[in-house]
């Protein structure tokens, strides 16, 4: 089984910060295999498509961001803990969405492509009030 569990969402005022965490478990991520996989964060607001937020390569050497979050959000990972994080600063009401953690396990890595990610978490709600 494969499990990605997000946490850290909540309600915050505009300009505030949140740190999302994603914990990976299951046979696919057992041992040190998590360190082989690229990871990403996506978000989906009501009535909208799921959008790319940030991605990170297997060893953390490369990071990718949507233009809308550059300079405000930071993605990181701790392979020893099978975890990936999203530090969100300077939050805006338009950042309100359900945030999903995703893993690219099979095939080439296209950070901004949701369909190229193989496993997904259930999501965590982030609400930013104005």
pLDDT tens digits for range 2-54: 899 999 999 999 999 999 999 999 887 777 788 889 999 999 999 999 999 99
**pLDDT of 2:** 81
- Percent of the chain past pLDDT 90, that is, above it, reads 85
> Which residues does 99 contact at the CB level (< 8 Å), separation at least 6?
6, 9, 20, 41, 42, 43, 53, 86, 123, 124, 125, 126
d(CA 13, CA 80): 33
**pLDDT of 32:** 76
- Percent of the chain past pLDDT 70, that is, above it, reads 100
Mean pLDDT across 98-109: 92
- Kindly report the average pLDDT of the chain as a whole number: 94
**pLDDT of 31:** 73
Q: Is a pLDDT exceeding 90 seen at residue 1? A: no
- Can you say how many angstroms the Cα of residue 70 is from the centroid of all Cα atoms in its chain? 14
């Amino acid at each position: 089984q494969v499990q990605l569990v997000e946490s850290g969402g909540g309600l915050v005022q505009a300009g505030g910060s949140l740190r999302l965490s994603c914990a990976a478990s299951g046979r696919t991520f057992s041992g040190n295999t998590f360190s082989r996989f690229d990871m990403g964060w996506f978000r989906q607001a009501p009535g909208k498509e799921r959008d790319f937020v940030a991605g990170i390569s297997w060893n953390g050497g490369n990071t990718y961001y949507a233009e809308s979050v550059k300079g405000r959000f930071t993605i990181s990972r701790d392979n020893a803990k099978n975890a990936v994080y999203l530090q969100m600063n300077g939050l805006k009401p338009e950042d309100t969405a359900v945030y999903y953690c995703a893993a690219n396990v099979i095939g080439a890595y296209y950070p901004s492509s949701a369909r190229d990610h193989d496993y997904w978490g259930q999501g965590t709600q982030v609400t930013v009030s104005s």
